[in-house]
């Protein structure tokens, strides 16, 4: 069985034809040129879909994009970095241009579907996906399906408070996990810590250029035994642990899968998270608890988008 | 249609025959004598059920009790204040003694079912119930059903962190909403605040007897215009607001119903909660948001237990 996956980002539109068993058969990428507006982007996506040589026999299109998506998986509201998109029935727009049925879903939910169909999530009926990128996104899979709540917006896990007098992140909510673990905020926290340690190699390398500091630099240093890098990642992991306790006490879902750039720190953040969870999560919820890192890599969004099509049209 | 509701507490066993339309037809209460052990309590419950004059035609028994209950709604684990109950299939034990099918559910979930079948929850497909008593319990109703998660324990809403370096409550988790809003902790917080205001009438009344201070005393004083009482309840409501933001961002359920002793403070806590929610909850989740106080009173547990029977056996 084949389906088409679309991954719409601020920079590129990616399209793939995906086989349910074999994975990606064909993929292509074109620039988004978001500044040319909504119709340009939709036309561009459809033209790219229609140009795929493997398109024959595809049962439907799954379309991943930023923003909040309604329960029906048709309409997106105010997607960031896409000027001119307010409330768009993007599923209909794509179907009109391709004659193929389409469902849309937001980035984090698509990442979870990628994991569910092709990654670490295959082994679980229910799990929570945390996408640790510039922001922190989330998705809830319950009994092999997305849990979307009453209006489609469940799983805004980055906006869960762990310290109500904590720092602001992008959102209006203070002290959310995104304000500690989102890449931008992690870099700011790391900058603060490193600035206090002028003898550390990280200070010497990044002083005056702290905007160039990325999580991967911390991981590399941690692997070389740099105590400061280890401490920064440890504190980040501990805060992630508090957020995971909150999700678990509410949802009673005990499998967690991390993805996104910051997740590449791997056990430097997952081990401290697990320590906090072991200490502070209620005992009955510890049974069967697992925290994993997804390794589908860059294809995860295209695979997840095709998974949405398999779930919707198979 | 009739069902039997059981409410097992540390002090009393209450049993009622409930009509789906008319409500409670008959009820009785006997002492629990929990110290006499599990079998004594189970025998006592069954004898009370069997003694009800309206029992004929009841379709089943719903049984509410403290503790965590499995997905099947048959087995309770380590219920507090019931010595000798470790893991008990209480549903089977009751059915063996009464020949009536039985399902069990924990206190907070039963309170939510009471609201769903007979109270403020009737008007909603999905809502979150918060029981503000000695501890803080929670329950999630999604599409008219209890959301129980993967192993039956979802909705431990009192154990959701709002400040990870905050105070300890009963549990191992720091800075949970229970550690601010649970009756014992609220009284402690009030004692701290009042101790600093020796001219306040609350100081004069409770100095040396702060263990006698109850939330209702704060509400009464707030209604008389006592600024200190108003401030204590305001801070309590604000903290409740942060917890509600967390539940909403995760679940996308936008209707909240409060019950339990502390909820009797009414708008003295709901208004400050709403102010925090208005400021710090993400805008899309504000649409259709409601925060209500249940007024079913003491019958809520019996009504909810019968609701469990209607849901299970009708």
Q: Number of Cβ pairs closer than 8 Å across A and B?
A: 143
Residue A158 has pLDDT above 90, yes or no: yes
Of A150, A245, A246, the CB nearest to B253: A150
- Within chain B, residue ranges assigned H as helices are 38-50, 90-98, 107-118, 178-181, 183-195, 201-206, 215-223, 227-251, 267-280, 283-286, 300-313
Looking at the structure, give the CATH architecture of the domain made up of residues A2-116+298-313. Answer: 2-Layer Sandwich (3.30)
pLDDT at B172: 84
**Which long-range CB contacts under 8 A does B34-38 form with residues at least 24 apart?**
B34/B10, B34/B81, B34/B82, B34/B83, B35/B83, B37/B83, B37/B84, B38/B82, B38/B84, B38/B85, B38/B88
Query: Residues A270, A273, A277, CA angle at the centre, nearest 5°?
Result: 135
Which pLDDT score, from 0 to 100, does residue A297 have? 86
* pLDDT the model gives residue A173: 87
- Could you say which of B156, B175, B246 has the minimum Cβ distance to residue A160? B246
Report residue A265's pLDDT band, with 50, 70 and 90 as the boundaries: very high
Residues contacting A90, CB < 8 A, separation 6+:
A42, A63, A65, A74, A75, A76, A102, A104
Residue A301: which pLDDT band, with cuts at 50, 70 and 90?
very high
Residue B170 has pLDDT above 80, yes or no: no
pLDDT digits (tens, 9 = 90+) for A218-238: 999 999 999 999 999 999 999
Chain B nearest-CA residue for A156:
B249
| pLDDT, mean of residues A64-87 | 94
Please, are residues B276 and B238 in contact by the beta-carbon 8 Å criterion? Answer: yes
Question: Does residue A127 surpass a pLDDT of 90?
Answer: yes
Task: Note whether B173 contacts A: Cβ–Cβ < 8 A.
Answer: yes
Percentage of chain B modeled with pLDDT above 70: 100
Q: How far apart are the first and last CA of chain B?
A: 8
- DSSP class of residue A266 equals T
Q: Which of B151, B253, B282 is opposite residue A173, by nearest beta carbon?
A: B282
The complex's ipTM works out to: 0.96
How many other β-carbons are positioned within 10 Å of the β-carbon of residue B177? 29
CATH topology of domain A125-294: Nucleotidyltransferase; domain 5 (3.30.420)
Provide the chain A residues 51-80 that lie in CB contact (below 8 A) with chain B. Answer: 68, 77
Q: What is the pLDDT, as a whole number, of residue B299?
A: 92
Determine the pLDDT at residue B219: 96
Non-local (6+) Cβ contacts of B70 within 8 A are: B77, B151, B152
Residues forming a β-bridge with A103: A62
Q: Token pair of B107, please?
A: 């206190």
Q: Are A266 and A293 in contact (CB under 8 A)?
A: yes
The residue-averaged pLDDT of A283-287 equals: 95
Cβ distance B96 to B40 under 8 Å?
Answer: no
- Answer yes or no: same fold for A2-116+298-313 and A125-294: yes
- Who among B156, B163, B251 is closest to A249 (CB)? B156
Residue B134: per-residue pLDDT: 87
Mean pLDDT of A206-211: 89
Weakest mean pLDDT among A14-23, A100-109, A187-196:
A187-196
Locate A190 and state its tokens: 């790391």
Average per-residue pLDDT in chain B? 95
Positive or negative CA dihedral for A223, A229, A230, A234?
negative
DSSP code of A8?
A: E
For the residues of A114-131, what is the DSSP string, one character each? HHHHHSGGGG-SSEEEEE
In sequence order, the β-bridge partners of residue A87 are A77
Predicted local confidence at residue B167, as pLDDT: 87
**A169 in reach of chain B (CB within 8 A):** no
Handedness of CA B165, B170, B173, B177 (dihedral sign): negative
Confidence class of residue A184 from pLDDT cuts 50, 70 and 90?
Answer: confident
Could A173 and B140 be called an inter-chain contact, meaning their C-beta atoms sit closer than 8 Å? no
User: For A265-286, what is the mean pLDDT?
Assistant: 97
Local structure of A95: helix, strand or coil: helix
Among B245, B246, B253, smallest CA distance to B141 is for B253
Closest chain B C-alpha to A123 CA, distance in angstroms: 14
Question: Domain residues of chain B, as ranges?
Answer: 2-116+298-313, 124-294
Q: What percent of chain A has pLDDT over 90?
A: 91
pLDDT surpassing 90 at residue B81: no
Given pLDDT bands bounded at 50, 70 and 90, which one contains residue B154?
very high
pLDDT of residue B173: 87
Tokens of B113: 């079912």
* B298 pLDDT tier (thresholds 50, 70, 90): confident
Q: What is the pLDDT of residues B227-252, one digit of tens each?
A: 999 999 999 999 999 999 999 999 99
Residue A81 confidence (pLDDT): 87
Cβ-Cβ contacts under 8 Å, A125 against chain B: 150
The yes-or-no verdict on residue A171 having pLDDT over 90 is no
Question: With a threshold of 0.90, does the pTM exceed it?
Answer: yes
* Cβ-defined contact of A282 to B150 (cutoff 8 Å): no
CB–CB of B282/A159 below 8 Å? yes
Burial label for B35, CB within 10 Å (0-12, 13-18, 19+), is exposed
At B169, the pLDDT band (50, 70, 90 cuts) reads: confident
State which residue of chain A sits closest to B67, comparing Cα positions.
A284
**Pick from B90-99, B147-156, B165-174: least confident:** B165-174
Asked if B253 reaches chain A (Cβ–Cβ under 8 Å), the answer is yes
Tokens for A91? 């599923």
Chain B residues with beta carbon closer than 8 angstroms to that of A252: 148-156
- pLDDT bin (cut points 50, 70, 90) of residue B271 is very high
Q: Does A18 score more than 90 pLDDT? A: yes
Q: Which residue has the tokens 């004059």?
A: B53
> Is the torsion defined by CA of A22, A23, A29, A33 positive or negative?
positive
pLDDT > 80? residue B8: yes
Give me B226's structure tokens. 């006592």
Q: Inter-chain contact A280–B155, Cβ cutoff 8 Å? A: no
B282 vs A171: CB contact, 8 Å cut-off?
A: yes
Residue A113 confidence (pLDDT):
98
For residue A10, what is the DSSP state?
S
Whether CATH 3.40.640.10 fits B124-294: no
Handedness of CA B300, B301, B304, B309 (dihedral sign): negative
- In sequence order, the 6+-apart residues with CB closer than 8 A to the CB of B57 are B2
pLDDT of residue B147: 98
Report pLDDT digits (tens) over B176-201. Answer: 999 999 988 899 899 999 999 999 99
**Cβ atoms within 10 A of the Cβ of B201, count?**
14
Specify the DSSP element, H or E, that contains A192.
helix A183-195
- Average of per-residue pLDDT across A250-271: 97
Query: What's the pLDDT band for A36 if we cut at 50, 70, 90?
Result: very high
Task: Using alpha carbons, select from A265, A250, A286, A259 the residue that is nearest to residue A161.
Answer: A250
Q: What rounded mean pLDDT belongs to chain A? A: 95
Residue written as token pair 């005056």: A208
């Amino acid at each position: 069985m084949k389906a088409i996956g679309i991954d719409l980002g601020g920079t590129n539109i990616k399209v793939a034809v995906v086989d349910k068993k074999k994975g990606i058969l064909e993929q292509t990428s074109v620039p988004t040129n978001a500044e040319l507006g909504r119709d340009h982007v939709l036309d561009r996506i459809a033209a790219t879909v229609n140009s795929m040589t493997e398109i024959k026999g595809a049962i439907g299109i799954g379309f991943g994009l930023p923003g909040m998506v309604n329960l029906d998986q048709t309409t997106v509201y105010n997607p960031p970095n896409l000027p001119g998109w307010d409330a768009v029935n993007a599923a209909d727009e794509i179907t009109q241009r391709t004659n193929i049925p389409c469902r849309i879903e937001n980035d984090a939910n698509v990442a979870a579907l990628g994991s569910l169909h092709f990654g670490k999530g295959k082994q679980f009926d229910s799990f929570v996906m945390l996408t640790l990128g510039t922001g922190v996104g989330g998705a809830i899979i319950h009994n092999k399906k997305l849990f979307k709540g009453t209006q489609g917006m469940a799983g805004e896990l980055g906006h869960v408070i762990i310290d109500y007098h904590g720092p602001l992140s992008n959102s209006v909510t203070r002290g959310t996990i995104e304000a500690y673990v989102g890449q931008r905020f992690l870099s700011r926290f790391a900058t603060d810590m490193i600035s206090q340690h002028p003898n550390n190699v990280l200070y010497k390398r990044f002083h005056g250029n702290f905007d160039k500091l990325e999580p991967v630099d911390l991981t590399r240093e941690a692997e070389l035994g740099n105590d400061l890098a280890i401490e920064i990642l440890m504190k980040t992991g501990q805060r992630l642990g508090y957020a995971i306790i909150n999700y678990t006490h509410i949802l009673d879902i005990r499998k967690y899968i991390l993805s996104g750039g910051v997740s590449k720190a791997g056990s430097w953040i997952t081990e401290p998270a697990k320590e906090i969870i072991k200490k502070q999560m209620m005992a009955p919820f510890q049974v069967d608890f697992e925290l994993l890192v997804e390794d589908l890599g860059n294809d995860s969004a295209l695979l997840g988008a095709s998974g949405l099509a398999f779930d919707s049209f198979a």
